[in-house]
Amino acid sequence: MLIVQKYGGTSVGTPERIQRVAQRVARARRAGHDLVIVVSAMADATDDLIALAAKVVPNARKDHPRELDMLLTAGERIAMALLAMAIRELGVEAISLTGSQAAIITDETHTGARIQEVRATRVREELNAGRVVIVAGFQGVSRLTKEVTTLGRGGSDTTAVALAAALPADRCDIYTDVDGVYTSDPRRVKNARLIPRIDFQEMVELATSGAQVMHPRAVEIGARYNVPIRVLSSFHDDDEVGTLITMRDETMEGLALTGLACEGGYARLSFHGLPPDMAVTTDILERLAKGRISVDMLAHVERADGRRQLQITIPEDALAEGKPLCEQLLKQHGGESIEVKPGMTRVALVGSGMYGLPGVYARTYTALSAAGIEVHAVSSSSISISLLVESGDEDRSLQILHQAFDLGETNK
């Protein structure tokens, strides 16, 4: 069996943890598996390198993105070389490869490149020679300019699943510091339940809504190429405990709600008294897009006097640019006023069984209303409902909805 394993920064955060990972890899190799190992930088290494760059050049990401990529890729190279040494000390042949050597081909974007292709010829050659192949995550080489690039947030997850798809591997195991995917963040909801199996679509929704176990880009690749993904803890030896992310089949539970996730850092902007013209809304959205300001939620209401109220949600860190632009647009279109409410959180309810099921909205609003929690906006997809609440109500909202939908450990 060919397995790709990925180890996050905490899993290789100390020499002792690197040795523990090496022992796990050696056991799997001796059990007869072919192995490709993807590693992140040791815990805090990337943050330390970014801080170091900031001491030398205040705006390195903006002014020197190529050199920042060259700097940041050092973190993974350190981890991969140390792990290769540790595995070889255990009598198992191993070799480390950078993203360039493993032919992770990306576009030309520095500090946030996208994988375009994985030419896994060198990786296959090393596997055929009987070696464990350790690949640096988070990095690649651009197709046209042959420059070193980094993949941005979640880059090592993306590297691992892309390699698994290209080889192709039988499975991709993501080792992290948690046991798997839970019905909600167990640090916030004490009786959150481990989900043993979840489909790709639900996992993408949870990941894009704030669940930090896996990056949505990696899950999307797994879905596209049907690569089964397991999320496991590297801190205990029981590989039967964890979450399998896979295609949905008839044996999987048709739960109304699979899990909850949340993401803070949003602001709500309400335009009052706009003309009731779709062209006005379109112009506002186009101007925000040109300003690289992402709109998350949108709703509009027609008033009795024929004017329109438009409500949008944007990242709070975009307010410095977004608010003046919105005020300019309000004036340009003859609107009355604009109300800005920062400090908002988007809480998402995810479950493929929710579509067409009566009572989901009623149960949601009843539970939150009874707790005095105001919902300021709502959006939905075929498998999710997203609610905008004040950030101060974030934890309570998770706990209340988790209980309202009987997701806890005692109800499994």
pLDDT, averaged across the chain: 93
Pairwise CA distance, residues 168 & 156, whole Å: 17
pLDDT of 239 > 50? The answer is yes
Q: Are 337 and 307 in contact (CB under 8 A)?
A: no
pLDDT of 249 > 80? The answer is no
pLDDT at 177: 87
pLDDT of 89 > 50? The answer is yes
* Choice among 27-36, 202-211, 220-229 with the minimum mean pLDDT: 202-211
Q: What is the DSSP string of 174-233?
A: EEESSSS-BSS-TTTSTT--B-SEEEHHHHHHHHHTT--SS-HHHHHHHHHHT--EEEEE
Class of 2-177 in CATH: alpha beta
Q: How many helices (H) and strands (E) does the chain have?
A: 12, 18
**Widest CA span in the chain:** 80
pLDDT of 161 > 60? The answer is yes
pLDDT band at 255 (very low <50, low <70, confident <90, very high): low
Contacts of 300 (CB under 8 A, 6+ apart): 281, 308, 309, 310, 311
Q: What is the DSSP string of 68-116?
A: HHHHHHHHHHHHHHHHHHHHHHTT--EEEE-TTTTTEEE-S-SSS--EE
pLDDT band at 378 (very low <50, low <70, confident <90, very high): very high
pLDDT of 252 > 70? The answer is no
What average pLDDT does the segment 263-280 reach? 94
Query: pLDDT, tens digit, for every residue of 187-204?
Result: 899 899 999 999 999 999
pLDDT at 129: 97
What average pLDDT does the segment 207-235 reach? 93
pLDDT of 2 > 90? The answer is yes
Pairwise CA distance, residues 247 & 238, whole Å: 24
Cis peptide bond upstream of 324, omega within 30: no
Q: Are 146 and 223 in contact (CB under 8 A)?
A: no
pLDDT of 160 > 60? The answer is yes
pLDDT band at 376 (very low <50, low <70, confident <90, very high): very high
| C-alpha 39: how far from chain center | 17
Pairwise CA distance, residues 298 & 377, whole Å: 8
Query: pLDDT, tens digit, for every residue of 292-341?
Result: 999 999 998 998 999 999 999 999 999 999 999 999 999 999 999 999 99
Pairwise CA distance, residues 298 & 325, whole Å: 17
Query: pLDDT, tens digit, for every residue of 124-135?
Result: 999 999 999 999
What average pLDDT does the segment 354-362 reach? 82
What average pLDDT does the segment 138-160 reach? 95
pLDDT at 167: 97
Pairwise CA distance, residues 164 & 319, whole Å: 40
State the first-to-last Cα distance of the chain, in angstroms, to the nearest integer. Answer: 33
What average pLDDT does the segment 164-189 reach? 94
Query: pLDDT, tens digit, for every residue of 20-74?
Result: 999 999 999 999 999 999 999 999 999 999 999 999 999 999 999 999 999 999 9
pLDDT at 357: 76
pLDDT of 411 > 50? The answer is no
pLDDT at 286: 96
Question: What does DSSP assign to residue 254?
Answer: -
**260-411 has which CATH code?**
3.30.2130.10
pLDDT at 412: 40
Q: Does 2-177 match 260-411 in CATH topology?
A: no
Burial class (CB in 10 A: 0-12, 13-18, 19+), 336: exposed
User: Domain spans of the chain?
Assistant: 2-177, 260-411
Quote the pTM value.
0.86
Question: Percent of the chain, pLDDT > 90?
Answer: 84
pLDDT at 409: 67
What average pLDDT does the segment 247-265 reach? 77
Q: Which of 90, 85, 123, 98 is nearest to 24 (CA)?
A: 90
Q: From the CA atom positions of the chain, what is the Rg in Å? A: 24
